[in-house]
């Protein structure tokens, strides 16, 4: 317990140090608005990617519907903050989004997680599309009922409580929750299902229950990311949460390494920077998506396991390495 | 009753396009277990190549159709060679991401002004639309052409797969690639051939949808591509009759939902398609025609 405290403390210190770093850079004036914007979007993408990585990388279930759960959170915030546009209202709306998402993920997950591989992928894709179509067909404004999603035009003028600091805090929180879940005993049963479901069941793991648990947890973080996205961008349309968004998140996960939380961080940051550069350099902005697509293909051909594979940055190994003078191959941990 | 018959015809012509695209999905899946997300883009390229042939070279419709099929067969083989072959040994999810990358690449290259531009274009009316009265219902000659061409292509595909040596090789590779190689089958050639056939079918669908709907654009492949994939899974992915059945079913469901007299239901037509798909998968997890295989430890 005490040993773990040391590692947890060092993680916390790292998180605070990064926060202070950004804060200082910003107050000195080295961070322009565009860079801050990029940082916030990276933060939201990290939350999404870490959640999806839990589902795909750690429990081994192929979900193509992550954007659907994000949409639930985004619209929960968009609608509820119209009723109560205070800071508490914003936080409450996140909770409401998470609550609805958990219910939906349970209803959807219990039957569909029996499916395997591509069949599960297409079922989750279908669910995300159903959510999106329900939102497109929602009411125009609150006078017509609570499901006021504004239809295809979406909702605009959402209160902007989510600045980069709020996003950063939520990013750290969701990552801590998911990382601790993976390292808990339930987390180990999740990993065992990824490795071999039949063997895990033979050892007494209730595979459906564990898979649903991982799925629900991943979905709940997606909902949080959706709420932050809605409040940060302030305008949401159903088209934001289509199949392409799910693919975007999937790309971050696979690019970083399926089954590596560190990888999801690295990939979200690298792709965020790539997007930033491609969007803001005039000469190549027309070719943004082409460069993005080519980069994706080339990385997959030359590094099909993603940038980090299954490697994680682990404080424990780092300390051991420092302690033993770098003899062991550190920072390699599952 | 007349209305039902009328919608049946509309649904079948839409369904045959889905079936043509789904066949390519299912063949590629059957042979290398890859969801080829770039398949919808091949369909879009087919429509554009047909457009160029008719608009600029003034070729007759069927020559343009065959020309587009041949060009797309080449493109399909090229994509497989450049993007998928290097990934043959790696994980399926890596191959899937590459397929998505290829799909993005084709869409965005076509969106450049040098190629097609993002704006939709009007497809030339190579065949004038005529309405034919068959008993109580109206059928356009284009619908008949779509249905007829689809049936001919499906029969052709069935003959290729079942009667030719290449077809036998395809079936062998899809059952067990390693064993097929030991029997002297060139696996790479067989996979290239599968991509060629699948892409040609998608191109045919693209040219015919251009003629039917009159408008083509670089993003036209996304939704039909997704629907065709749903169709392939619906019928049981990897099975050629399954893709045909799935395509026609999805087309019919969609048409009947959008034509139904219940108010406001048509806005939910895609949701209903996905809902039925999920129900089918829950009852029969390998699709309508799929067989359950026992997992061996």
On whether residue A334 sits in a domain, the answer given is no
Residue contact A129–B274, C-beta within 8 A: yes
On whether residue A12 sits in a domain, the answer given is yes
Write the pLDDT tens digit of every residue in A157-188: 888 888 888 999 999 999 999 998 998 999 99
The answer to whether the beta carbons of residues A69 and A101 sit under 8 Å apart is: yes
Is the model's pLDDT at A107 over the cut of 80?
yes
Same domain for A14 and A64: no
Same domain for A260 and A305: yes
Chain A residue with CA closest to B104: the answer is A293
Q: Which domain holds residue A298?
A: 32-323
Chain B residues with beta carbon closer than 8 angstroms to that of A247: 100
CA atoms within 13 A on the CB side of A10: 12
A277 Cβ under 8 Å from any chain B Cβ: no
How many domains is chain A partitioned into structurally?
2
Chain B residues with beta carbon closer than 8 angstroms to that of A300: 87, 94-95, 97-98, 101
Same domain for A276 and A140: yes
Q: CA torsion angle for A92, A96, A101, A102 (degrees, to 10)?
A: 90
Instruction: Give pLDDT, residue B81.
Output: 95
CA distance, residue A99 to nearest chain B CA (Å):
23
CA distances to B32, B64, B204 from B197, in Å: 15, 17, 11
CA distances to A40, A240, A281, B72, B109 from A277, in Å: 15, 22, 6, 34, 19
CB neighbour burial string for B177-212, b if at least 16 within 10 angstroms, e if fewer:
beebeeeebebeebbbbbbbbbbbbbbbbbbbbbbb
Burial label for A250, CB within 10 Å (0-12, 13-18, 19+), is buried
Same domain for A27 and A122: no
Q: What whole-number distance in Å separates Cα of residue A287 and Cα of residue A294?
A: 11
Same domain for A22 and A50: no
Q: What angle do CA B80, B221, A305 make, to 5 degrees?
A: 45
Same domain for A22 and A59: no
Same domain for A241 and A218: yes
Nearest to A115 among B87, B285, B297 (CB): B285
CB atoms within 10 A of CB B59: 17
Same domain for A12 and A117: no
CB atoms within 10 A of CB A107: 11
* Interface contacts (A, B; CB < 8 Å): 116
A119 Cβ under 8 Å from any chain B Cβ: yes
Residues 6+ apart with CB under 8 A from B202: B20, B21, B24, B39, B40, B42, B43, B46, B72
Nearest to B83 among A287, A297, A304 (CB): A297
Q: Which residue has the tokens 């059957």?
A: B30
pLDDT band at A288 (very low <50, low <70, confident <90, very high): confident
Chain B residues with beta carbon closer than 8 angstroms to that of A301: 83, 86-87, 98
Write the pLDDT tens digit of every residue in A18-33: 888 888 888 887 778 8
CA distance, residue B133 to nearest chain A CA (Å):
36
Mean pLDDT check: name the lowest of A7-11, A90-94, A226-230: A7-11
Residue contact A301–B297, C-beta within 8 A: no
Residue contact B108–A293, C-beta within 8 A: yes
The domain spanning residue A286 has which CATH number? 1.10.3470
pLDDT, averaged per 10 consecutive residues of chain B (297 residues), comes to: 84 93 91 89 95 92 94 96 89 83 91 84 86 83 92 93 93 92 94 95 94 90 88 87 92 89 80 87 83 66
On whether residue A329 sits in a domain, the answer given is no
The interface pTM score, or ipTM, of the predicted complex is 0.82
Same domain for A281 and A203: yes
Same domain for A198 and A163: yes
């Amino acid at each position: 317990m005490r040993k773990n405290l040391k590692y947890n403390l060092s993680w916390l210190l790292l998180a605070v140090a990064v926060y202070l770093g950004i804060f200082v850079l910003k107050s000195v004036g080295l961070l322009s608005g565009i860079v801050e914007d990029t940082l916030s979007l990276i933060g939201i993408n990290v939350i999404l990617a870490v959640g999806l990585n839990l589902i795909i990388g750690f429990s081994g279930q192929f979900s193509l519907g992550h954007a659907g759960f994000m949409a639930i959170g985004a619209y929960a915030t968009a609608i509820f903050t119209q009723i109560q546009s205070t800071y508490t209202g914003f936080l409450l709306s996140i909770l409401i989004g998470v609550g609805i998402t958990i219910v939906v993920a349970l209803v959807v997950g219990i039957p569909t997680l029996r499916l395997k591989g591509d069949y599960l992928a297409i079922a989750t894709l279908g669910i995300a599309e159903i959510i999106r179509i329900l939102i497109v067909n929602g009411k125009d404004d609150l006078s017509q009922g609570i499901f006021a999603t504004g239809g295809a035009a979406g909702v605009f003028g959402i209160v902007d409580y989510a600045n980069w600091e709020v996003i950063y805090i939520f990013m750290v929180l969701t990552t801590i929750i998911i990382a601790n879940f993976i390292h808990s005993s339930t987390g180990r049963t999740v990993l065992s299902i990824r490795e071999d479901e039949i063997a895990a069941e033979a050892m007494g793991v209730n595979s459906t229950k564990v898979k649903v648990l991982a799925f629900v947890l991943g979905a709940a973080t997606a909902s949080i990311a959706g709420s932050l996205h809605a409040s940060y961008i302030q305008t949401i349309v159903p088209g934001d949460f289509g199949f392409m968004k799910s693919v975007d998140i999937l790309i971050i996960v696979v690019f970083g390494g399926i089954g590596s939380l560190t990888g999801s961080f690295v990939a979200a940051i690298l792709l965020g920077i790539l997007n930033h550069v491609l969007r803001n350099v005039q000469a190549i902005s027309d070719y943004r998506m082409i460069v993005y697509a080519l980069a994706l293909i080339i990385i997959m051909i030359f590094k099909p396991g993603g940038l980090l594979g299954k490697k994680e940055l682990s404080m424990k190994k780092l300390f051991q390495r420092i302690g033993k003078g770098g003899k062991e191959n550190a920072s390699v941990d599952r | 009753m007349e209305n039902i018959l009328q919608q049946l015809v509309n649904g079948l012509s839409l369904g045959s396009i889905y079936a043509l695209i789904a066949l390519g999905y299912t063949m590629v899946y059957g042979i290398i277990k890859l969801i080829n997300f770039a398949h919808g883009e091949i369909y879009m390229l087919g429509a554009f190549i047909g457009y160029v042939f008719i608009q600029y070279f003034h070729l007759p419709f069927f020559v343009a159709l065959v020309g587009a099929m041949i060009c797309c067969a080449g493109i399909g083989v090229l994509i497989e060679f450049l993007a998928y072959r290097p990934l043959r040994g790696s994980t399926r999810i890596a191959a899937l991401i590459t397929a998505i990358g290829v799909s993005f690449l084709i869409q965005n290259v076509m969106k450049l002004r040098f190629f097609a531009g993002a704006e939709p274009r009007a497809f030339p009316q190579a065949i004038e639309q005529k309405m034919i009265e068959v008993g109580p219902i109206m059928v356009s000659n284009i619908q008949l052409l779509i249905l007829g061409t689809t049936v001919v292509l499906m029969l052709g595909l069935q003959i290729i797969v079942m009667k030719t040596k290449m077809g036998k090789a395809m079936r062998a590779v899809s059952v067990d690639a390693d064993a097929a190689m030991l029997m002297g089958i060139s696996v790479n050639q067989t996979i290239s051939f599968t991509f060629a056939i699948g892409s040609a079918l998608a191109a045919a669908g693209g040219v015919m949808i251009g003629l039917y709907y009159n408008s083509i654009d670089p993003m036209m492949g996304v939704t039909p591509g997704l629907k065709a994939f749903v169709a392939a899974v619906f019928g049981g992915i990897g099975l050629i009759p399954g893709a045909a059945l799935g395509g026609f079913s999805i087309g019919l469901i969609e048409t009947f939902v959008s034509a139904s007299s219940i108010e406001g239901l048509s806005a939910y037509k895609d949701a209903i398609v996905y809902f039925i798909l999920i129900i089918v998968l829950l009852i029969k997890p390998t699709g309508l025609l799929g067989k359950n295989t026992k997992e061996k430890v």
